[in-house]
Amino acid sequence: MVQLLKFSFVILLALGCGSSSHPLPQGALSGLVPQPQSVTTGGEDVGGRGFRCDGSLTVSWPEGWGMKAVRDWLDGSGLDVLQTAQGDAPGRIAWIRSNRPLGLEGYVLRIESDRVVIEAEDEEGAFRGWTTLRQILPPRCEQGCPRGFELPAVQIEDHAYLAHRGLLLDCCRHFMQPAFVKRIIDAIALQKMNVLHWHLTEDQGWRLPIQAYPKLTEVGGFRTEADGTEHGGFYTREEVRDIVEYAAERHIQVIPEIELPGHCRAALAAYPWLGCSGEEMDVPNNWGVFKDVYCAGSDTTMRFLKAVMDEVCDLFPSEVIHIGGDEVPKVRWASCESCQRRMAEEGIANEAELQTWFVNEIGNHLASKGRRIMGWDEILEGGLPKGAMVQSWRGMEGAIEATHQGTDAVVSPTSHCYLDYPLRSTDLKEVHGFIPVPDAAKGHRGSIVGGECNMWTERAPQDEVMGKVFPRATGLAEVLWSGPQITQLEGAYDGFLDRLDALSRRWAEMGLQPGLEGVPVRVEVLPSTLGKVRVVVHPNLRNVGGMVSFEPSTNEAAQPLGKVGDTLVVAGRGTLVVDVVIRGRRTAVAERFPLAGHAGAHQTLDLAFEPSSAYTGGGMQALADGRLGSSDFRDGAWQAVQGEDLTCTLDLGESLPIERLSTHLYLYQDAWIFMPSKVEWSVSIDGQTFEPLATQAPWGDALLPNPNQTVIPVNLSAKGVRVRHVRMRLVNPGPCPEWHAAATEPTWLFADELVVEVAH
Ligand code: ACM
Ligand code: ZN
């Protein structure tokens, strides 16, 4: 286990910059991310003047250390660099081999007036020390160093908290160009991450070249999208080797993920005999969990997978090979003669154990080649395959269980580590607050050896990936490198944000555009006079502002309303648009909030059901709070109930001449969200006796299979009706129908608002 070095923190703001003609801005140490274990700028050894560079530099490192990534960076820095024999001498940046233990990937970086020394036990520690030095150099050096600059005097002692610090990059749902994968590698290396978990085979695309089975990429590498366009691509063997080498130069291990027994529809499209049915199928263009998986009863399929793994071992030096193992429906196995025969022959009791048998077959084959498998936490279900590492994603339980069973685990729970999730479910603060090694996982035979953040790309083509990965991956990098003794300190997150501000200047020079830290603004919708609501747009992050406008749903021109922080008044329906400004700079982000100022807004509402705690829409007033739902059913404005009617009654406070009643429904059958069988409207003058007004079921064929995520408007003209009470009942259509993957399970109903418009 890692021994923590002494933990002292003395970052002084005022640095002695001597007589340098181009002193660094104060706080050249302010962009260190992850936070080193110890930074000392005062004291006898390291006070005083720093190291001056006037455009030329002498560097040295021990014989045998390649330092390729450092050499490449220096070559592009515009500095005159002379490499000299090893050793520490005046005027030099010297990497020195240490003969004392410095901890996991540890190093000591000393910047003195006449030299810079990075001491490390090996080249890996030396490289981590280099990334720290790089973060102290002027950000402009990323494009070309200024002719003269000075580095602050400092001593940094540092090492990693956990050994496995990774990013999963899914290059299957969307293909990523090799040059882009390298940019990701560069960016995570700067954050001292050391694993690229490269997801290369999936239902929607097979990206890894396998010489024995060329159709895997020729057929499985491409899919036809719903709009008829083609998406796809694959890597050549040369590109794979190049990426692996590029990563290795940055001391990043590439762990390939070859999914089995499920998530393999692209392989089945290439070679249908791999599956239980042998039926021809397409490479799918939709997302989800598919029933067709590799046939566990077929010896030919097992031979295929072993041959694939042989080529994987040829391409990837990583000891660990990820075999997936997640989300494997067992229905095909249950009705497959070969699979059932296998179970009988091997004395396997059920399909969960058949998965363990399957994974063991591949695990044993890989073990014979000196490799070790890692799999998602589902691999625990039929009994832990021998020697397997577990990656826990459905919470932390899988990791804890793995440590109890004596094996190592990597954590990437959906609660903190899923970068495909929107900021509203996982923001930077949550990631940075993550505790990767809970007490329940301590003191057992196995250990949690690290964590990963997972960039699944169903909804993220290459162009959107950088902004989703950063800055959140940087938060996890700090959690895994610096450790809880730093990230769990009081005020740690604010300090992290300060350092991130400084790091952002370097990212800008590197051309890396991070996304936001979290949801930038939130709206509060308050009562106003009849037919209107008051709205306050609150900043949700530091340094957020922006102009607010309103786009009426009538297609009239957008009206400027005010700015973030103002109290604004909205009448009628439309969308509030906030053009987000951060640190005084405009961003490309426009946050949109559909609203309705209407006569029912903030009147007394009675619900005849209990809203789902997962979809409250904001509380008991959600169906009359002025906020409408967007095309995202998780936006916080939709309210939902499962398995029963959604009925609500609104008391307008006085009898009013109604013009129109309306609501929106959400349709997303893959997520079990259906249309009601009908919408019943009724009205009352006294709140006791309700008269039926109308019954609607205007969505016709929408109950047929239709996976689209759609907002369905429901409108009822009610001219001439004068009442005080309005009731809306959405009648539950009953369980998911026969054709549905979840047939017989209770359906959901979603609604956003009971909108009451009155005559003026
Ligand atoms: C996973 O997210 N299915 C591992
Ligand atoms: Zn089968």
Cβ–ligand 1 contact at 458 (below 6 Å): no
Long-range pairs of 614-619 with CB within 8 A, sequence gap ≥ 24? 614/640, 615/639, 615/640, 615/750, 617/752
CA pair distance 571, 625, nearest whole angstrom: 13
Q: Which ligand is nearest to the CA of 328?
A: 1
Report pLDDT for 706: 66
Distance (Å) from CA 354 to ligand 2 centroid: 11
92 CB-near residues (< 8 Å, 6+ apart): 58, 59, 60, 84, 115, 116
679 φ/ψ sector (left φ>0, alpha ψ -120 to 50, else beta): beta
Q: Which atom of ligand 1 has the smallest separation from the CA of 263? A: 3
Q: Which ligand is nearest to the CA of 278?
A: 2
pLDDT per residue over 46-69, tens digit each? 556 899 999 899 999 999 999 999
Start-to-end Cα distance in the chain: 74
pLDDT per residue over 527-565, tens digit each? 999 999 999 999 999 989 999 999 999 888 899 999 999
Report pLDDT for 707: 62
Q: How many CB atoms lie within 10 A of CB 273?
A: 12
Q: Which ligand is nearest to the CA of 330?
A: 2
Q: Which atom of ligand 1 has the smallest separation from the CA of 324? A: 4
Distance (Å) from CA 335 to ligand 2 centroid: 8
Helix (H, G, I), strand (E, B) or coil at 155: strand
Q: Which ligand is nearest to the CA of 296?
A: 2
CA pair distance 130, 437, nearest whole angstrom: 28
Distance (Å) from CA 302 to ligand 2 centroid: 11
Cβ–ligand 1 contact at 376 (below 6 Å): yes
Q: Which amino acid is at 726?
A: V
Q: How many CB atoms lie within 10 A of CB 572?
A: 16
Phi first, then psi, for residue 41 (nearest 5°) are -115, -15
Q: Which atom of ligand 1 has the smallest separation from the CA of 418? A: 2
How many angstroms separate the Cα of 135 from the Cα of each of 5, 142, 684, 720? 21, 10, 69, 71
Q: DSSP string spanning 197-226?
A: EEE-EETTEE-S--TT-THHHHTTTEEE-T
Would you call 624 exposed, middle or buried from its count of C-beta atoms within 10 A (0-12, 13-18, 19+)? buried
In this structure, the dihedral spanned by the alpha carbons of residues 562, 563, 565 and 569, taken in order and rounded to 10 degrees, is 20
Ligand 1, atom 2, residue with closest C-alpha: 393
CA pair distance 623, 649, nearest whole angstrom: 10
Q: Which ligand is nearest to the CA of 342?
A: 2
Report pLDDT for 85: 85
Distance (Å) from CA 339 to ligand 2 centroid: 4
CA pair distance 339, 705, nearest whole angstrom: 31
Phi first, then psi, for residue 272 (nearest 5°) are -60, -25
Cβ–ligand 1 contact at 393 (below 6 Å): yes
DSSP 63: T
Q: Which atom of ligand 1 has the smallest separation from the CA of 414? A: 2
CA pair distance 665, 64, nearest whole angstrom: 66
Name the residue with tokens 């063991």.
360
Q: Which ligand is nearest to the CA of 392?
A: 1
- Note whether 6 and 108 are within 8 A (CB): no
Pocket test residue of 326, 378, 415, 455 for ligand 1, highest count of atoms within 8 A of CB = 326
CA pair distance 517, 530, nearest whole angstrom: 38
Ligand 1, atom 3, residue with closest C-alpha: 326
Distance (Å) from CA 362 to ligand 1 centroid: 20
Residue 217 in tokens:
């990429």
Distance (Å) from CA 455 to ligand 1 centroid: 10
Tell how many helices (H) and how many strands (E) occur in the chain: 18, 36
- Note whether 126 and 1 are within 8 A (CB): no
| Angle ∠(67,68,70) on CA atoms, nearest 5 | 70
Distance (Å) from CA 390 to ligand 2 centroid: 25
> Which residue intervals of 316-370 are DSSP H helices?
331-334, 337-346, 351-367
CA pair distance 569, 573, nearest whole angstrom: 12
Query: Would you tell me the crossing angle of helices 178-190 and 492-510 to the nearest 10 degrees?
Result: 140
For the chain, 760 residues long, the average pLDDT of each consecutive 10-residue run is 33 30 55 95 65 93 96 94 90 96 98 96 98 97 92 96 98 98 98 98 98 98 96 98 98 98 98 98 94 97 98 98 96 97 97 96 97 97 94 98 97 98 96 98 96 97 97 98 97 94 94 94 95 96 94 90 95 95 86 96 98 96 97 94 98 97 94 94 97 87 66 94 98 92 92 95
Q: What share of the chain is helix, strand, coil (3-state, %, to 5)?
A: 25, 30, 45
Environment of ion ligand 2 (residues, CB < 5 A): 276, 295, 297, 336, 338-339
Report pLDDT for 46: 55
* Entry pTM: 0.89
Distance (Å) from CA 272 to ligand 2 centroid: 12
> Can you list the positions of beta strands (E) in 261-346?
320-324
Distance (Å) from CA 454 to ligand 1 centroid: 9
Q: Which atom of ligand 1 has the smallest separation from the CA of 391? A: 4
Report pLDDT for 288: 86
Phi first, then psi, for residue 567 (nearest 5°) are -95, 125
> Which residue intervals of 140-275 are DSSP H helices?
178-190, 215-218, 237-249, 265-270
Q: Which ligand is nearest to the CA of 393?
A: 1
How many angstroms separate the Cα of 490 from the Cα of each of 262, 485, 515, 711? 44, 10, 25, 44
Pocket test residue of 456, 457, 458, 459 for ligand 1, highest count of atoms within 8 A of CB = 456
Q: How many CB atoms lie within 10 A of CB 3?
A: 10
Q: How many CB atoms lie within 10 A of CB 700?
A: 8
Cα 543 off chain centre by: 23
Q: Which atom of ligand 1 has the smallest separation from the CA of 327? A: 3
Distance (Å) from CA 299 to ligand 2 centroid: 10
- Note whether 200 and 324 are within 8 A (CB): no
Report pLDDT for 670: 85
CA pair distance 102, 4, nearest whole angstrom: 9
Distance (Å) from CA 378 to ligand 1 centroid: 10
Q: How many CB atoms lie within 10 A of CB 637?
A: 25
